[in-house]
Structure 1
Amino acid sequence: MTEFVLVAGAWLGSWAWDEVVPELQAAGHGTHPLTLSGLAEKQGIPAGQQTHVQDIVDEIERLDLRDVVLVGHSYSGIPVGQAAERIGDRLARVVFVDSEVPVNGAAFASARLAAAIAENGGFWAPLTAPDCDGQGLTGEQTARFVGGSTPHPGATLTEPAVLARPLGELPATYIKCLLDGPEPNDDVAELLKSERWRLVEMDTGHWPMFSQPVELARILNRSAAES
């Protein structure tokens, strides 16, 4: 049985996977949606980027999970990519859902975003409904996303990633959501040259766990079968 560890992107908690989890469970898999420190029900917990990496590693080790498919969406691809190499042979596959990827020694935040975070008390402010236009979300789905979002701890975005080996060595699937841009970014495009990485496209926006949860679960199930 595959164990899915699901980590949503900026501003979100484990609740973001509520419509994906039943589909994975129906296929016989274990599911472990995770809220990172400082977000959702864990607001108020201080967090830097390595805190989030450790959150993921600790959860896998605490539950003694094996045959892990580690799923990172958006921002969370950065801590997920680092955690994936730290859990050793517990990892079956890592799946990046329209996500950023860690680059050793580099931070996620641009100078402009870092300045905005500093001006907002050290947090990245959540998106508003107009920010979600064109992403394939219904009005109800947008309201759910915006209503559930919480400010994102800024240090997780401004601290650099730490990788011990090339990310392209990991078995990985990258899911590109086409409404958020037709092509992966340059870092992802380079990684997709690895024979261990594969690309899957979804005709939806940046938050497929809301806009197309059943199709996303199908892709995750196929990824588990390839592990």
Structure 2
Amino acid sequence: MRCAVGTIQPILKLITELGVSEDQPATLVAHSGANAPVSLVLDQHPELVHRVVWVDSGPAAAGGAFAPELPKELAELPLPSFDALSQQASLEGLSAEVLERFRDRAVPEPGPVLRQPVRLTNDARRRVRTTLVCCSIPSAQVLELARAGHPMFAEVAKIERLDVVDLPTGHWPMWSRPRDLAQSIQSAASRS
């Protein structure tokens, strides 16, 4: 699938530039809509990933798409208004000043990343060490939803080596609790 593979090229390029290898694997960190490209990297190159850290998100399921209803002619989706965004995800912990900075730094999400179904075939992706940093939904609820087969969390139930961390805040902890998020990522990356 040309489009989906194209969405992972920047990640693979960075991995190559950093000298990542089977002997020196990387820790990948993904948030929200990055779950499709990072899931594809895990599927195609699990040997290059020491650990994946999902920040208020989780792995994509095979055949799933983040927003399949987006029109094909839409090349990218800019950050919506914060009123609209708050209907989709928690803005807890974000002050007016932070929201302004968020808006200024936001980049559009590529349409194909949102629209294309994810083709996953390599079960080795489920053996990669995984940490869920649960922010807008507590880890106990995420795990319960995963066990119940909820489409958004079903893939979590199939992960073989899973750690969970609760970081109570909204969907964007990089804005609301950046130091705590950095510590959670550092702690996860240093685990063997």
Deviation, structure 1 residue 181: 10
Match of 1:71 in 2: 29
Equivalent in the alignment of 1:203: 168
**Preserved CA contact (<8 Å) 2:173 2:181:** yes
Unpaired runs of at least 5, structure 2: none
Matched residue, 1:98: 56
Name the amino acid aligned to 2:75: G
Instruction: Please say if residues 8 and 37 of structure 2, whose CA atoms lie closer than 8 Å, have aligned partners that are also in contact.
Output: yes
Q: Deviation per CA, 1:163-218, whole angstroms, max 9, x where unpaired?
A: 23234222111111126998336243552464411221111111111111110011
Q: Give the drift of 1:110.
A: 4.1
Alignment match, 1:57: 12
Kept after mapping to 2: 8 A contact 1:180/1:206: no
Check if 1:177 corresponds to 2:135. yes
Matched residues, number:
176
Which of 81, 92, 110 is 1:135 aligned to? 92
Q: CA RMSD in A?
A: 2.7
Aligned AA (1:152): E
Aligned to 1:191: 156
SS in structure 2 of the partner of residue 127 of structure 1: coil
Does the CA-based 8 Å contact 2:52-2:131 persist in structure 1? yes
TM-score by length of 2: 0.78
1:200 alignment partner AA? V
- 1:216 aligns to 2:168 (yes or no): no
Equivalent pair of 1:177/1:203 in contact (CA under 8 Å): yes
SS of the aligned residue for 1:183 comes to helix
Question: For 1:165, which of 117, 122, 144 is the aligned residue?
Answer: 122
Q: If the length of structure 1 is used for normalisation, what is the TM-score?
A: 0.67
1:155 equivalenced with 2:112 (yes/no): yes
Q: Deviations over 1:99-149 (max 9, x none)?
A: 2522222222143xx14x75xx43323122333474211111111111222
Q: 1:173 is paired with a residue of what secondary structure?
A: strand
1:61-92 CA distance string (max 9 Å, x none): 13212231100111002211221343343311
Change (3 A) 1:156 1:189: closer
Q: Helix, strand or coil: the match of 2:92?
A: coil
Consecutive unaligned residues in structure 1, runs of 5 or more: 1-46
